[in-house]
Amino acid sequence: MTGFADSAITPIPAQSGIGLRSVHYRELLDTLPRIGWLEAHSENYFGAGGQPLFYLEALRHHYPLSLHGVGLGIGSPQPLSQLHLDKLKSLCERFEPGLVSEHLCWNAYAGQYHNDLLPLPYTEEALTHVCERIAQVQDTLRRQILIENVSSYLEFSASTMPEWEFLQEVSQRAGCGILLDINNIYVSACNHDFAARDYLHAISPHCVQEIHLAGFEQRNDVLVDTHSRPICDAVWTLYRDALARFGPRPTLIEWDNDIPELTILLGEAQTAQKLLQQDHEQLAPAN
């Protein structure tokens, strides 16, 4: 679906993987557990050298790698940081990741960064802006990227379309893939009172190239995407619906706060792997 060459890249298999966190570097490298792939936060490897890049390099020899950005701010009204893009480009050239992803969000205004994933209004104007910026990133990296839906705790009254329509339209117009975060859909569905399945059904299977799963917390009647807990039953159920619709897709277990022992993460990945295999046996891939 894109014109970008990706010859030297190790593809990410339709298996479960885990987010790479520094507390697990040594254990991962010593034990090399059976997991399909690893995903690293791009910005954690923006340094010039040292231990983080050493471990990423070492682990890259054993696992397919996906790079997941949390700081570019695709939707911010200010220009994308050239320094940030340059660092991302060098990282992609060095590690040849199977997938590269960013978030559908904004994070900065007038030079001040909030370092968070803040929701956008879903308007035609924002759609044009986001698509132009994705094109800029894809042209810089000379490859396709994936865009991930974020959790949100408020909606703009100015929005003229639901998030799922916006996301699908972004993918079609910009020629990027979709990283569908099932937990984020669940969290936003509860917070904004929509049916999570409507979201899944609005997304074309061929656009979805990766799935994220994570845990959330509840604060003052609002679900907050904290990546600090095991995946809840309702999200596992929604994940099965997603697999039934999209077919098996690379699935990542994300955990960023109160990071547990590696075995806990691997256990969650194993659960996802079982569902991937079951659904793979029961259903034909949707693309």
Q: Which residues are at the interface with other proteins (CB under 8 A)?
A: 43-44, 46-52, 54, 70-73, 76-78, 81, 84, 87, 106-116, 118, 120-121, 123, 125-126, 129, 153-159, 191-193, 219-222, 224
Q: Position 86: which residue type?
A: D
Chain centroid offset of residue 22 CA: 19
Minimum CB separation of residue 219 from other proteins in Å reads 7
The answer to whether the CB of 145 falls within 8 A of the CB of 103 is no
Q: Nearer to other proteins by C-beta: 71 or 247? A: 71
Backbone angles phi, psi at 164, to 5 degrees: -65, -35
d(CA 95, CA 155): 37
Chain centroid offset of residue 237 CA: 19
The Cα-based distances of 88 to 69, 133, 227 in angstroms read: 9, 15, 24
d(CA 58, CA 60): 5
Minimum CB separation of residue 124 from other proteins in Å reads 10
Q: Nearer to other proteins by C-beta: 6 or 198? A: 198
The answer to whether the CB of 122 falls within 8 A of the CB of 166 is yes
Q: Nearer to other proteins by C-beta: 212 or 249? A: 212
Minimum CB separation of residue 151 from other proteins in Å reads 10
Minimum CB separation of residue 283 from other proteins in Å reads 35
The pair of three-digit structure tokens given for residue 84, joined into one six-digit string: 């940030």
Which residues make beta-bridge pairs with 65?
38
Minimum CB separation of residue 172 from other proteins in Å reads 20
Which residues have CB under 8 Å from 164's CB, separation 6+?
Answer: 198, 199, 202, 203
Q: Nearer to other proteins by C-beta: 129 or 280? A: 129
The answer to whether the CB of 154 falls within 8 A of the CB of 119 is yes
Q: Nearer to other proteins by C-beta: 163 or 279? A: 163
Q: Nearer to other proteins by C-beta: 142 or 192? A: 192
Minimum CB separation of residue 79 from other proteins in Å reads 9
Q: Position 94: which residue type?
A: R
Q: Nearer to other proteins by C-beta: 10 or 136? A: 136
Minimum CB separation of residue 239 from other proteins in Å reads 24
The answer to whether the CB of 197 falls within 8 A of the CB of 190 is no
